[in-house]
Amino acid sequence: MMEKDQNINSDENNIKQENPKNEEFKDDKNEKKEKVLTTEEKNIELEDKLTRAFAEMENQRRRFEKEKDEAFEYGGFSFARETLNLSDNLERAKESLKNDESLKNSESLKKTLEHLEIIHKDILSIFKKNNIEPINSINKKLDPNYHQAMMEIEDDEKESGTIVQEIQKGFLMKDRLLRPALVGVSKKTFKKGTINENEKEIEENKEKKPAK
């Protein structure tokens, strides 16, 4: 009887050895059974996916709203910058007429300048209605965010870096720089033969030292 049992066990071992794929298949099947999600876990996974999808949709909506608002507010940015040339040309025309010797002190010059001034004011009024404002520069400190220095002008009455001349007016469109102001800034006059405060102090200290 014992010999018969041993033969049966031996046969089973031989079958296992001959069919290792069957064992692997059983193991894979068991693993798949273990990986099957419960209904609650499936619901949690689905809710997570939906939450992520809604969050992405909301982000896209916000981006679209921002782009739409910017397009509405700054859509005419390039056009506005080009329009500034009209204001520049009117200013140049006025200066050219004022410097014309043949027209000086004439009634026709006076009337022409008055008409040009009216047109220029109308242009600035249209700019203002569209949130385009000139940058105030004179007597301000040079700010590279709004000004572009074109020259230095000697001026001992002003602090160095103060804007004392405006070559071309700058403009803002709401909170954006439409065009920087081209300006001239002050610098201190350098005089030969003068000594600075440190050199003066050194000389005074030398004089105070007792002779050895």
Question: Could you state, in order of their start, the residue ranges of all structural domains in the chain?
Answer: 2-35, 134-212
**Owner of token pair 């000594």:** 195
- Distance CA(10)–CA(165), nearest Å, equals 108
pLDDT digits (tens, 9 = 90+) for 15-72: 445 455 555 545 555 554 445 668 777 778 888 877 887 788 777 777 766 665 665 5
Name which of 47, 108, 84, 74 is nearest 169 in CA terms.
Answer: 84
pTM above 0.75, yes or no: no
Pick the CATH number of 134-212 from 3.40.50.970, 2.30.22.10, 3.40.50.300, 1.10.940.10: 2.30.22.10
Q: How many CB atoms lie within 10 A of CB 153?
A: 14
- Distance CA(165)–CA(186), nearest Å, equals 9
- The residue among 141 and 11 whose pLDDT is bigger is 141
CA 83 to the chain's CA centroid: 23
The token pair at 10 is 């031996």
The token pair at 132 is 């385009």
pLDDT digits (tens, 9 = 90+) for 62-83: 776 666 566 556 667 788 888 8
CA torsion through residues 59, 64, 65, 67, sign = positive
